[in-house]
Amino acid sequence: MVGSVEKHLLERIQADDAIHLTLVDPEKVSVGSASNLAKRLARSETTAIMVGGSTTNSTVHLDKVVKAIKSDIQIPVILFPNNVTGISQYADAIWFMSLLNSVDPYFLVGAQILGAPLVKKFSLEALPLGYIIVGEGGTAGIVGRAVSIPYKKPELAVAHALAAQYLGMRFVYLEAGSGANQPVPSAMIRTVKDALDVILIVGGGIRGSEQARAVVTAGADIVVTGNIIEEAGSEGEFEKLIEAVKDGGAARSRCRNEQLQSFRHKKLSTKPLT
Ligand code: 1GP
């Protein structure tokens, strides 16, 4: 069942072609700094806040961080759990995710079984997500015991993404790992996007506007950044990155319209005379 957070995301994607989400890692923030961050995010055009990290282990702290963020913003807060300890009753929704290239059944379905009753109890909106580690993979890849897909093997990423779609997941996330040296390459994003009918999320290692624009141009519907908001040093850099996501989306939709028009034009001009 599609809930209000998912509807919000889909409407924003329909309007702008591509959207930006900000990831806040509770391990990296105090309650006070989370509140300051939220005030800054409230002034930005990020579409939703994701809260989670590969090593989240204190639900008490997570609760406080989510509450602090929620008190300052109107946009949705979506949990991005690494484990059952990543579930907070104060969030709006949760990426209900399976790490599809993990060799450990716990990350495929075990943690989900343990967490599902809590998701129900807290009335969290579950957003079904196929999570795929690619390239370096970072801490998420190590903790999740993933066999990471090399950047040169886009066809393997497609196979994983299609499996997610056929299993009924409405989102697929290509994760290069937080702080990755190289974000997911355009060729891999494009190959996956061309094969997929569900929403494609891309994140990990995206540090600047040009990288964000490239990720969108290649086909990402949702761009996730985490570190950049802390690293940028100035609000301007972060804003520019979100602007680049919007520009990339607008350029993509212009390109699609032009292709459609040229297709229609060709069809009309080749219509046989009767
Ligand atoms: C991690 O993809 C996200 O899941 C964000 O990565 O911190 O490198 O932006 P960064």
- Res. 191: pLDDT tops 80: yes
- Res. 197: pLDDT tops 70: yes
Q: Which residues of 157-191 are buried (b: 16+ CB within 10 A; e: fewer)?
A: bbebbbebbeeebbbbbbbbbbebeebbbbebbeb
Q: Tell the residue number behind the tokens 């886009």, with chain if given.
A: 154
Is residue 224 within 6 Å of ligand 1 at its C-beta? yes
CB 171 within 8 A of CB 128: yes
Give me ligand 1 centre to Cα 271, in Å. Answer: 50
Rounded Cα–Cα distance for residues 61 and 167 (Å): 34
Rounded Cα–Cα distance for residues 109 and 203 (Å): 22
Bridge partners (DSSP) listed for residue 134: 149
Q: What is the per-residue pLDDT across 131-172, written as a single tens digit (0 to 9) for each?
A: 999 999 999 999 999 999 999 999 999 999 999 999 999 999
The CATH number of residue 220's host domain is: 3.20.20.390
Please say whether the dihedral angle defined by the alpha carbons of residues 226, 231, 233 and 234, taken in this order, is positive or negative.
Answer: negative
Please say whether the dihedral angle defined by the alpha carbons of residues 130, 133, 135 and 139, taken in this order, is positive or negative.
Answer: positive
Q: For residue 199, what are the domain limits?
A: 4-269
Q: What is the per-residue pLDDT across 35-75, written as a single tens digit (0 to 9) for each?
A: 999 999 999 999 999 999 988 889 999 999 999 999 989 99
pLDDT at 236: 82
Which residue's alpha carbon is at the smallest distance from atom 1 of ligand 1? 178
- Ligand 1 atom closest to Cα of 180? 8
pLDDT at 74: 94
Is residue 175 within 6 Å of ligand 1 at its C-beta? yes
Asked if residue 218 belongs to a domain, the reply is yes
From 17-26, 117-126, 189-198, 258-267, the region with the lowest mean pLDDT: 258-267
Asked if residue 136 belongs to a domain, the reply is yes
Residue from 68, 61, 117 nearest 94 by CA: 117
Q: What is the per-residue pLDDT across 214-246, written as a single tens digit (0 to 9) for each?
A: 999 999 999 999 999 877 566 688 989 999 999
Rounded Cα–Cα distance for residues 204 and 222 (Å): 12
Is residue 138 within 6 Å of ligand 1 at its C-beta? no
pLDDT at 113: 98
The number of folded domains in the chain is: 1
Is residue 205 within 6 Å of ligand 1 at its C-beta? yes
Asked if residue 274 belongs to a domain, the reply is no
pTM > 0.85: yes
Is residue 179 within 6 Å of ligand 1 at its C-beta? yes
Is residue 52 within 6 Å of ligand 1 at its C-beta? no
Q: What is the per-residue pLDDT across 22-35, written as a single tens digit (0 to 9) for each?
A: 999 999 999 999 99
Give the CA distances from residue 44 to residues 69, 90, 271, in Å, rounded to whole numbers and listed in that order: 14, 22, 49
**Which amino acid is present at 176?**
A
Tally Cβ neighbours within 10 Å of residue 84.
17
Which DSSP string do the residues of 130-154 spell out, in sequence order?
EEEEBTT-HHHHHHTTB-PBPTT-H
Three-state secondary structure call for residue 172: strand
Average pLDDT, the chain: 94
Q: What is the CA radius of gyration of the chain?
A: 19
Instruction: Kindly state the percentage of the chain with pLDDT values over 70.
Output: 97
Give me ligand 1 centre to Cα 2, in Å. Answer: 26
Asked if residue 193 belongs to a domain, the reply is yes
Structure tokens of 23?
């990831």
- Ligand 1 atom closest to Cα of 80? 4
Asked if residue 178 belongs to a domain, the reply is yes
Cβ-proximal residues to 48 (8 Å cutoff; 6+ apart), any chain: 5, 8, 9, 21, 22, 75, 76, 77, 78
Is residue 206 within 6 Å of ligand 1 at its C-beta? yes
